[in-house]
Structure 1
Amino acid sequence: MCTKAVRLEAVSSLTTDAFFASLKRLIGRRGLIQQLHSDNATNFKGAQHELHEIFRQFQDQQACGQIHQFCQEREIEWHFIPPYAPEFGGLWEATVKSVKTHLKRVVGNAKLTFEELATVLVEIEAILNSRPLFTTSRDPTDPQVITPAHYLIGRPLIALSEHSLEDIKVTRLDRWQHLQLMREHFWRSWSRDYLSTLQPRKKNHRTMPNLRPGMIVLMQEKNLPPLCWKLGRITAVFPGEDGLVRAVNVFVDGATYRRPITKISVLPIDDNKAHKETDSS
């Protein structure tokens, strides 16, 4: 809930036994959980035609009793959000929506086996858990960043070094290369949208604080491999005649780049929010 770390699980069915199996896998890999938050059963009514099986399971009193007994034996508190209030689950629904939207785009009408689907979901999970949260170092040459993966495995996730397949004809790829291409397409689409969310367009509503030297930012660069984020620190700003910053110098990996503010995204961390009252225009 704090880091918005993501876990994606492929299941063979929407039965109670399949739920137990997925929950056991979660506990086996992440440890015993204390609280479990989920949608209320009535929320599935609106999507009954798509989630008929899971809706039926929630309506089945015997299945609900088995689930509650399973959780009580392990001292897991199950919290339901209020009926007919999906906005109460906005924290996880935003991620679910993002994953589903981009997953549908990259998979399309491709027919994947269970093993292939599970592989794609795990690689997408790694992409989502690689996003920078905040930095722990003030060294401009090496801004060490903390990601959700640090809270899961204690270190950042690093993708295997593989050649890009985007320039190769699809007809020449085998099935496992198709999965790699899907991962690359998901990375391109999702990372672009994620960086856009860090640049809220609020200029017509209220004045935003100027960028300032020392801020940690993400540079929007094309053709970066999956799980790679170009993180840097602003070293100089260039305001216009109106005093508003239009371009900045960013120090990244031993080199300085000049970029317009539309091509960088500021990380939502406390260091970047400091002194915003004095920097406002």
Structure 2
Amino acid sequence: MSDNALSFISASQEVKRLCESKKIEEALSSFGVEWRFIPKRAPWFGGWWERLIALTKTNLKKTLGRALINLDMLQTFVTEIEKILNDRPLTYVSTDITDSEPLTPAHLLYGRRVTTLPYPRTEMDNINETYALTASDISKRAQRLSTLIEHFWNRWRFEYLTSLREFHKKTGDNKINIKVGDVVQVHDDKPRIKWKTAVVEEVVTGNNGLVRSAIIRTNSGQTSRPIVKLYPLEINEDELSNTSEETKEVDTKITLPMRKAAMRAKENIKFWTNS
């Protein structure tokens, strides 16, 4: 998922060209790889990664400032910042040390926080100096790992997903009712009188079933816009075409009275033709 930068669009076209090879296409499809773009001129659709970029830049500025460093030092700093971001809590942080530790993005990546040891101290004590494990130890560790993963997903479902409703406003009913075939004005930085008109060809809905963006057709081609940048004109493409056809029929049936000068000219042409 990415924004509509020209470099990303060019790269996606190159990937599509490479996918003409059956080998590459099968390799990507096996991993479920699909490149999607957010609607044009809607940067808030990528707010979740823009937030991470801002946090990374802030940590770099606070850590380095204007210091002159080499590539190895920069890689070290970025790795440390990655650890900090992946260890940030996603759920409630309790002051009681006996409570479970808060869930972090690192739990999704590694099953534990990066700042903790890979194995509990009790397990480390059971391992001898040569780190030789018996079949029984491996079986017990696999069962323990399975239990930890199940415990994590239960907490993820009941703690994190439930807490999202407390921090995000309800979207409610979608006030902007846009459907396929509607004629809309497209918001632009120009004065409103110069805004383009377009026809909605397809609507894109979110996971909540509400319309988030639309694929529109303008006189310059097909593009996409979020619904907050579209202003319906309360007219449908079918109605517009029917109205134009009715107007044509009416125009063909209307006959204006002939002027006197035209009547005299018609009589003169008839007289000259006969003579």
TM-score by length of 1: 0.34
Greater per-residue helix proportion: 2
TM-score by length of 2: 0.35
Higher relative CO (CA 8 A, sep ≥ 6), structure 1 or 2?
A: 1
Bigger-Rg structure (1/2): 2
